[in-house]
Every structure is written in C-alpha cells, then in structure tokens.
Amino acid sequence: MHIAIEIVTVIIIALVSGRKFCGKICPLGLLQDLVYKIKFPLKIKTYKADAYLRYLKYLFLVLVFFIRGNEKIEMPPFAYISQILAVIFVSIILSRPFCKYICPWGLALAIGNKIPSTKYKVNTEKCTECGSCAKKCKMDIIPYRQINNVECIYCGSCEKTCPCKAISKKSWLPFVRRQ
Ligand code: SF4
Ligand code: SF4
C-alpha cells in the first residue's frame, strides 16, 4: 500500500476506534493471543525494562517512514519472516510483545485512544482494588488505575473479569451499549 494511503487509513482508524482495532480486528494481535494461550512454565507479566522498551515503537515508526520513503532500500523477505517468527516465539511467554514494543501503527492509533468511539469507565464505589483485571490485562496495564491508557487495546478482558462489575463501556456510537 502506498505510504500516503496507509497514513490516511491509520488516521481514520485512530479517530474512530483508537487502539480498539488492535484488540478486536488486527490478525497479528489475534495470533499473539492464541500463541500466549500455549501452556508454558514461564509467563512474564511485567519486568523492570518493560516501560522503557515500550518507547521502541517510536523508533520503529521513524524507521518505517525512512524505509518507505527511500525507494533504494528494499527489505529482504527473510527480514519479515524472521520478525514474525520472533514475535510468535516471544508471545509464548509474553502477552502481545508486537503491540507493546514494535507496532509503529499501534503507536499512531494510541494517539486516537484520547478520542476513541468507546471508552471504559471504572466505578470507584464498586471497585475493591482486588487486582483481577490487572492479572487479565493483555497489555499489562492496571485497568482500575490506568483505564483508557494509551496502551489499552480495548480487548474487554478487564470488563469481563471484574467480579464487582465495576468496569463498563461508554460510547458515543449508537450501536454500542451505553452505561
Ligand atoms: S477487577 Fe474490578 S474490583 Fe477488582 S480491581 Fe479491577 S475494577 Fe476493581
Ligand atoms: S485495560 Fe482492559 S480493555 Fe484495556 S487492554 Fe487491559 S484488559 Fe484490555
């Protein structure tokens, strides 16, 4: 796809859905979720460098513009294949590594998280801070403290998990359930 068409597409998706696209539509997101379900003795929820590594997405966004804008640079097919294999391998122990650290468009869509069609809301009177939602969060954020964070992919796991029904959706679209 031409880079200009790609940018316009990303802007439209960002405005309409924010990172909901990552949580509900992106096939690479679904693939990572399926691989993460594989039973393995080591599953890492979070670690010290995680917050810093998430800035790598900025670097990849710049790289994408540089590579796409320079016709002389052509990525060999093995570069794409090895990247996908690495993501699949890491996804066994870490939830959504591509979305957290690599996806340049995920970063652009994250800006749209500031104005997505659907937002989550935490009812602080119902929330007991039990932490169940944080354990289920695919992006390893703490939903009851960081709801609608730029890293949120609107997967809905926190809403489904909450035993107190403290998390709910709020939308300006008529076909999405309102609180
Ligand atoms: S699962 Fe529900 S009650 Fe528990 S911390 Fe999250 S929002 Fe609060
Ligand atoms: S905060 Fe909730 S909706 Fe957002 S990524 Fe985490 S589990 Fe999914």
**Domain segments of the chain as ranges:** 3-171
More confident of the two residues 149 and 69: 149
- Specify the pTM: 0.82
The Cα angle at residue 128 between residues 126 and 133, in degrees rounded to 5: 95
- Nearest CA residue ID for atom 7, ligand 2: 137
Distance CA(96)–CA(101), nearest Å, equals 9
- Give the pLDDT score at 13: 80
**Which atom of ligand 2 has the smallest separation from the CA of 146?**
1
Q: If you search the block for the tokens 């540089």, which residue do you land on?
A: 66
Query: At residue 115, does pLDDT exceed 80?
Result: no
3-class DSSP state of 149: coil
Residue range 127-155: mean pLDDT, rounded:
94
Which residues lie with the beta carbon below 6 Å from any ligand 2 atom? 136-139, 141, 143, 152-158
Segment 108-122 shows an average pLDDT of 77
Ligand 2 center to 141 CA (angstroms): 7
